[in-house]
């Protein structure tokens, strides 16, 4: 699967990614977020929820780049397919606390450094 270059649209839409809402006439991109995002760093693991088996199909990890009431943005070495539903554990920085949640991959892009960025939205 060919992924869009993350840096290509991040630079053009930086204000939209950080603050959410609005649109950009220059690029024709309409922001679909309903909630503001804030920069935040934490570690996260994601396990694909099984459709037909007891065991997850994969387990990946990444770094949370920003978070909001609607979802999170993750940087990882591994791509995920859009619409994949994953069980996630977010580790809070500086404390031994993990937050479990179920999320769905909204979008995936690739960086110049061959890393992947996922947009995840909360399912529950």
Q: Given this model, what pLDDT does residue 113 score? A: 82
Q: Given this model, what pLDDT does residue 41 score? A: 86
Q: Would you say residue 53 lies in a domain?
A: yes
Q: Given this model, what pLDDT does residue 55 score? A: 61
CATH number at residue 115: 2.40.10.220
Q: Given this model, what pLDDT does residue 90 score? A: 92
Q: Would you say residue 103 lies in a domain?
A: yes
- φ, ψ of residue 43 to 5 degrees: the values are -100, 145
- The contacts of residue 114 (CB under 8 Å, 6+ apart) are none
- The contacts of residue 24 (CB under 8 Å, 6+ apart) are 12, 13, 16, 31
Domain that holds residue 108: 38-122
**What total number of domains does the chain contain?**
1
Q: Given this model, what pLDDT does residue 74 score? A: 92
- State how far the Cα of 73 lies from the Cα of 50, in Å rounded to an integer: 23
Interior angle at CA 16, CA 78 and CA 103, nearest 5: 40
For residue range 47-94, list pLDDT tens digits in order.
Answer: 888 766 566 678 899 999 999 999 999 999 998 888 899 999 999 888
Q: Would you say residue 20 lies in a domain?
A: no
Q: Would you say residue 12 lies in a domain?
A: no
Closest CA to 17 of 26, 6, 25: 6
pTM of whole model > 0.75? no
Which comes out higher in pLDDT, residue 68 or 17?
68
Beta strand 59-68 with 71-76: parallel, antiparallel or unpaired?
Answer: antiparallel
What residue has token string 């606390």? 97
Beta bridge mates, 39: 66
Which comes out higher in pLDDT, residue 58 or 36?
58
Q: Would you say residue 105 lies in a domain?
A: yes
Does 46 have pLDDT greater than 80?
A: yes
Which comes out higher in pLDDT, residue 15 or 115?
115
């Amino acid at each position: 699967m060919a992924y869009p270059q993350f840096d290509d649209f991040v630079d053009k839409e930086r204000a939209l990614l950080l603050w959410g809402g609005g649109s950009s006439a220059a690029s024709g991109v309409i922001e679909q977020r309903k909630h503001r995002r804030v920069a935040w760093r934490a570690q996260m693991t994601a396990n694909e929820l099984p459709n037909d088996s007891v065991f997850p199909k994969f387990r990946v990890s990444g770094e949370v780049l920003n978070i909001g009431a609607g979802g999170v943005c993750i940087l990882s070495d591994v791509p995920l397919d859009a619409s994949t539903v994953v069980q996630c554990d977010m580790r809070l920085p500086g404390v031994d606390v993990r937050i479990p949640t179920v999320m769905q991959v909204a979008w995936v892009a690739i960086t110049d450094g061959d890393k992947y960025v996922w947009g995840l939205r909360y399912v529950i």
